[in-house]
Amino acid sequence: MNKMSCKFKSRAENEAFARTIALSFLMPLNAAAEEMMEIRTLVSEGVTNAIIHGYEGNREKMVKLEIGYDDHGLITIIITDKGKGISDIDQALEPLYTSKKSSERSGMGMTIMQTFSDSFDIISAENEGCTIVIQKQLHVNLSAAE
Ligand X SMILES: Nc1ncnc2c1ncn2[C@@H]1O[C@H](COP(=O)(O)OP(=O)(O)OP(=O)(O)O)[C@@H](O)[C@H]1O
Q: Which does 68 bind (CB under 5 to 8 A by kind): ligand X, Mg ion, none?
A: none
**How many CB atoms within 10 Å of residue 78?**
19
| Choice between 50 and 75, CB closer to ligand X | 50
105 flagged as catalytic: yes
Q: In whole angstroms, how close is the CB of 20 to Mg ion at the nearest point?
A: 19
Rule CB under 6 A: choose which of 19, 38, 77, 109 binds ligand X: 109
Residue 64 found at the interface with ligand X (CB under 6 A): no
- Does 43 contact ligand X by CB under 6 A? no
Residue 89: which of Mg ion, ligand X, none does it interact with, CB under 5 to 8 A by kind? none
Which residues in 68-87 contact ligand X (CB under 6 A)?
81, 83-86
What angle separates helix 33-49 from helix 14-26, to the nearest 10 degrees?
140
Secondary structure (DSSP) of the chain: -EEEEEEEES-TTHHHHHHHHHHHHHGGG---HHHHHHHHHHHHHHHHHIIIIISTT-TTSEEEEEEEE-TT-EEEEEEEE-SS--S-HHHHHSTT--S-TTTT--S-HHHHHHHH-SEEEEEE-TTS-EEEEEEEE----GGGG-
**Nearer to ligand X by C-beta: 26 or 79?**
79
47 binds ligand X (CB under 6 A): no
Q: Write out the catalytic residue numbers.
A: 45, 49, 105
Interacting residues with ligand X (CB under 6 A): 45, 49-50, 53-54, 81, 83-86, 92, 97-100, 105-111, 130
